[in-house]
Amino acid sequence: MANPLDTFTDPVLGVPWGELGAVRRAARLDDRWHVDAVLGYPVDGLHEAYTQALATALGDAVVLDLSFSMPPTRGTPGAGHLIAVASGKGGVGKSTTAVNLALALDRAGAKTGILDADIYGPSQGMMLGIAEGRRPEVRDQRTFVPIRAHGVEAMSMSMLVEERTPMVWRGPMASGALRQMLEQTGWGGLDYLVVDMPPGTGDIQLTLSQQAAVSGVVIVTTPQDIALLDARKGIEMFQKVDIPILGIVENMSWFECAGCGDVHHLFGQGGGARVAEEYGVELLGEFPLDPGIRESTDAGTPTVAADPDGRVAGLYVDCARRVAGRLWQLAGSAPSPPSISMDDA
């Protein structure tokens, strides 16, 4: 008998559960469906909505057991899937996206860390509210213990030097520092490690692609033509080194007037969607030009931590699930066939 759950469209990925192999077991007993589903993206907060969606699709009451299982990875030991967050140019909100993406993955139910790979201009220490001068512990005289902030593990050059100390280093020295942070940080069994990349397409990007098993990259842009031009360069670079493009995030997409509620597209409209379509990748999220995002990040409590139930935090969590879902698809869902039984009711 055909499995009616196979045709249920996953709300995050837009793909039928049968194609994803999401259902482990299902049975219709006592006029209700009992469904055990395991998804490859974090599912905290989704149980009620998915139960209702399944009940509507099946036309029956549903008892749902919904859980998350991280897809297999060959990444850095203890770090899970490495997700690079990159941009072709500075000033597009890449670091803000990276830190909120990490916090959103944690809020959605995944063990998450963030690595600040911007050796010359590290900012994640300040964004996470880590006090100036606080240093990571060193275990066994060689392993850094990442600092925990807002529920995520973090490592940054800003935690190893004084904030005002410039890194006057040539490319090989910066690349060596990145390798050291990657290889000598004792990540605590993470599901995902978000890597905040420096802008551009230089030494650090090449080092990461050559020295680490990066699962995929998120490209951050704004709707401006010049930002989109550089976003294309970033996509082309990562494609050349065979790192999958998970999708595009568009920042500063619109501004909503607090007084009248009118929406204004100050930097153009639809640019991120056009580039995503051009390269056949997903538009993962569009985020407003909102002073609150900047203010909360500058204060060391990024939006997802400062206002976890707010609208913008919800957008970041939705974006984080799409990123994790794309990784699941790329890794190849590999569940066992579902076990289906039916009663005569």
Q: Are residues 33 and 124 in the same domain?
A: no
Q: Are residues 100 and 64 in the same domain?
A: no
Paired sense of beta strands 147-149 and 152-156, if any: antiparallel
Give residue 146's pLDDT. 95
pLDDT, mean of residues 223-229? 87
Angle between the N-to-C axes of helices 271-279 and 225-240, in degrees from 0 to 180, rounded to the nearest 10:
30
Q: What is the pLDDT of residues 250-300, one digit of tens each?
A: 999 888 877 777 788 877 788 899 999 999 999 999 999 998 998 999 999
Q: Are residues 142 and 214 in the same domain?
A: yes
Q: Are residues 62 and 85 in the same domain?
A: no
- 138, part of any domain: yes
* Distance from C-alpha of 315 to C-alpha of 288, rounded to nearest angstrom: 10
Three-state DSSP at 336 gives coil
The boundaries of the domain holding residue 9 are 4-69
260 or 39, higher pLDDT: 39
Q: Are residues 166 and 212 in the same domain?
A: yes
Q: What is the pLDDT of residues 232-248, one digit of tens each?
A: 989 999 999 899 999 99
Q: Are residues 90 and 211 in the same domain?
A: yes
Q: Are residues 136 and 254 in the same domain?
A: yes
Q: Are residues 61 and 126 in the same domain?
A: no
pLDDT above 60: residue 339: no
pLDDT, mean of residues 29-45? 94
Residue at a domain's end among 41, 69, 97? 69
Give residue 164's pLDDT. 63
- 340, part of any domain: no
* 345 confidence band (pLDDT: 50, 70, 90): very low
| Tokens 């039916």 sit on residue | 342
The amino acid that residue 172 corresponds to is P
Query: Counting beta carbons within 10 angstroms of the beta carbon of residue 345, is it exposed (0 to 12), middle (13 to 18) or buried (19 or more)?
Result: exposed
Q: Are residues 183 and 266 in the same domain?
A: yes
Long-range contacts of the stretch 300-304 (C-beta < 8 A, 24+): 300/126, 300/127, 300/128, 300/129, 300/130, 301/129, 301/150, 302/96, 302/99, 302/100, 302/103, 302/127, 302/128, 302/150, 303/100, 304/100, 304/103, 304/104, 304/107
Residue at a domain's end among 22, 37, 69? 69
H or E stretch covering 248: strand 245-250
* 140 confidence band (pLDDT: 50, 70, 90): confident
Give residue 193's pLDDT. 96
Other beta carbons within 10 angstroms of residue 229's beta carbon come to 13
pLDDT above 60: residue 43: yes
Paired sense of beta strands 263-264 and 192-196, if any: unpaired
- 102, part of any domain: yes
* pTM given for the model: 0.91
- 281, part of any domain: yes
- 338, part of any domain: no
Enter the tokens of residue 291.
């002073």
- 203, part of any domain: yes
Q: Are residues 136 and 13 in the same domain?
A: no
CATH at 317:
3.40.50.300
Which of 30-34, 199-203, 336-340: highest mean pLDDT?
A: 30-34
Q: Are residues 144 and 41 in the same domain?
A: no
Q: Are residues 41 and 99 in the same domain?
A: no
* Distance from C-alpha of 245 to C-alpha of 236, rounded to nearest angstrom: 10
Phi, then psi, of 253 in degrees rounded to 5: -70, -35
Q: Are 165 and 86 in contact (CB under 8 A)?
A: no
Q: What is the 3-state secondary structure (H, E, C) of 169-217?
A: CCHHHHHHHHHHHHHCECCCCCCEEEEECCCCCCHHHHHHHHHCCEEEE
Give residue 278's pLDDT. 92
CATH at 43:
3.30.300.130
| Tokens 């420096």 sit on residue | 198
- Percent of the chain scored above 90 by pLDDT? 59
- 310, part of any domain: yes
Quote the mean pLDDT of the chain. 88
Give residue 118's pLDDT. 86
pLDDT above 80: residue 45: yes
**Overall number of domains in the chain:** 2
Residue at a domain's end among 69, 103, 124? 69
- 339, part of any domain: no
pLDDT, mean of residues 205-228? 88
